[in-house]
């Protein structure tokens, strides 16, 4: 009599799942993201300080999802101190690996899209450095600038137009240069440079074709087309500017396939065609 088959060996680690929630409106959570949040995966969510509120967690809560009792916060401080950041990332990665070692999937809640200026990609990289065999699954989501363009009734790019997405922290000199290279600029995290950017847009005559959007999709969402109202104002960290330059000079486009050169007399192509 043959012995019974051995029970399958459980995976050593669960999967790390980056669940994109969109920028604020829970109705923008994708069906795949919603399913991951209602699966047996444990939740993890980012906070700036221990026991502080989490914007990502609030999106899920406003969507009517019950917060699991065993949901875990991971602290990612808002600081430019390299030593403090390194310690925080090391702690978060070690904690994540420890949770995944239980064999259960971990759904990390991400505001916006997990592949765009997201904490999740840094976390996934740090986790893999500790345990390369961990599987990472990224669930795509709606980015803040796509949602902002929708609520502002603007097109990010049409037909042959170009666009660029950059952090405003690169400064007005870089922004000024890119205005001549792209039809649309998305300026992320504009809070520290609002007045400087407004001066640039006024000088370039682009305030009428620009729009400010703050906390898109959240109950506090604000869309401002008259940018002069922002001068001297302290805006929210979760804010961006959509800047369009309809005056941009464009180079010649190459459309379709290049016309093939006629074969030289006596060539192999000429003989075959004959």
Instruction: Note whether residue 11 is domain-resident.
Output: no
Strands 42-47 and 222-224: unpaired
- 33-90 residue pLDDT tens: 999 999 999 999 999 988 788 999 999 999 999 999 999 999 988 878 888 888 888 9
- Whole-angstrom Cα distance, residue 74 to residue 115? 19
Q: What pLDDT does 71 receive?
A: 96
Q: What pLDDT does 260 receive?
A: 55
- Whole-angstrom Cα distance, residue 225 to residue 230? 10
Q: What pLDDT does 154 receive?
A: 95
* Residues 34 and 116 occupy one common structural domain: yes
DSSP, res 47: E
For tokens 């986790």, what's the residue? Answer: 127
Instruction: Note whether residue 3 is domain-resident.
Output: no
Q: How much is the mean pLDDT over the chain?
A: 89
* Residues 181 and 233 occupy one common structural domain: yes
Burial class (CB in 10 A: 0-12, 13-18, 19+), 14: buried
- 91-123 residue pLDDT tens: 999 999 999 999 999 999 999 999 999 999 999
* Residues 128 and 149 occupy one common structural domain: no
* Residues 156 and 135 occupy one common structural domain: no
- Whole-angstrom Cα distance, residue 12 to residue 129? 16
Domain count, the chain: 2
Instruction: Note whether residue 187 is domain-resident.
Output: yes
What mean pLDDT is predicted for residues 164-188? Answer: 96
Neighbours of 19 (CB within 10 A): 29
153, 156, 158, 162 alpha-carbon torsion, rounded to 10°: 160
Band the pLDDT of 248: cuts 50, 70, 90. confident
What mean pLDDT is predicted for residues 170-178? Answer: 96
Give the domain extent around 120. 16-139
Instruction: Note whether residue 4 is domain-resident.
Output: no
- 115-139 residue pLDDT tens: 999 999 999 999 999 999 999 999 9
What mean pLDDT is predicted for residues 249-265? Answer: 63
148, 154, 159, 164 alpha-carbon torsion, rounded to 10°: -40
Residues β-bridged to residue 110: 20
Residues 6+ apart with CB under 8 A from 253: 160
- Whole-angstrom Cα distance, residue 179 to residue 164? 10
Instruction: Note whether residue 262 is domain-resident.
Output: no
Query: Could you tell me the CATH number of the domain that includes residue 124?
Result: 3.40.1010.10
Q: How far is CA 168 from CA 81, 172, 174, 187, 196, in A?
A: 20, 8, 9, 5, 10
Q: What pLDDT does 195 receive?
A: 95
Q: What pLDDT does 198 receive?
A: 96
pTM of the predicted model as reported, rounded to 2 decimal places: 0.84
The larger pLDDT score, comparing residue 81 to residue 224, is at 224
Query: Could you tell me the CATH number of the domain that includes residue 183?
Result: 3.30.950.10
């Amino acid at each position: 009599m043959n012995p019974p088959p051995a029970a399958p060996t459980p995976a050593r680690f669960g999967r790390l799942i980056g669940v994109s929630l969109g920028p604020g409106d829970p109705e923008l959570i994708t069906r795949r993201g919603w399913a991951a949040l209602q699966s047996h995966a444990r939740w993890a969510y980012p906070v700036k300080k221990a026991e502080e509120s989490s914007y990502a967690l609030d999106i899920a809560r406003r969507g009517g999802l019950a917060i699991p009792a065993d949901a875990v916060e991971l602290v990612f401080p808002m600081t430019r101190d390299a030593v403090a950041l390194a310690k925080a990332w090391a702690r978060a990665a070690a904690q994540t690996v420890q949770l995944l070692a239980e064999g259960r999937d971990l759904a990390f809640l991400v505001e916006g899209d997990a592949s765009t200026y997201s904490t999740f990609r840094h976390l996934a990289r740090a986790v893999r450095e500790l345990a390369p065999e961990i599987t990472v699954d990224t669930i795509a989501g709606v980015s803040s600038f796509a949602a902002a363009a929708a609520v502002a009734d603007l097109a990010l790019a049409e037909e042959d137009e170009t666009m660029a997405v950059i952090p405003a922290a690169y400064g007005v000199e870089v922004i000024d240069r890119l205005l001549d290279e792209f039809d649309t600029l998305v300026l992320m995290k504009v809070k520290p440079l609002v007045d400087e950017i407004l001066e640039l847009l006024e000088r370039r005559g682009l305030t009428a074709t620009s729009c400010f959007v703050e906390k898109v999709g959240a109950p506090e969402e604000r869309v401002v087309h008259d940018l002069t109202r922002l001068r001297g104002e302290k805006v929210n960290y979760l804010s961006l500017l959509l800047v369009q330059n309809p005056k941009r000079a464009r180079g010649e486009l190459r459309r379709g396939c290049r016309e093939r050169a006629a074969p030289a007399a006596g060539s192999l192509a000429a003989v075959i065609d004959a």
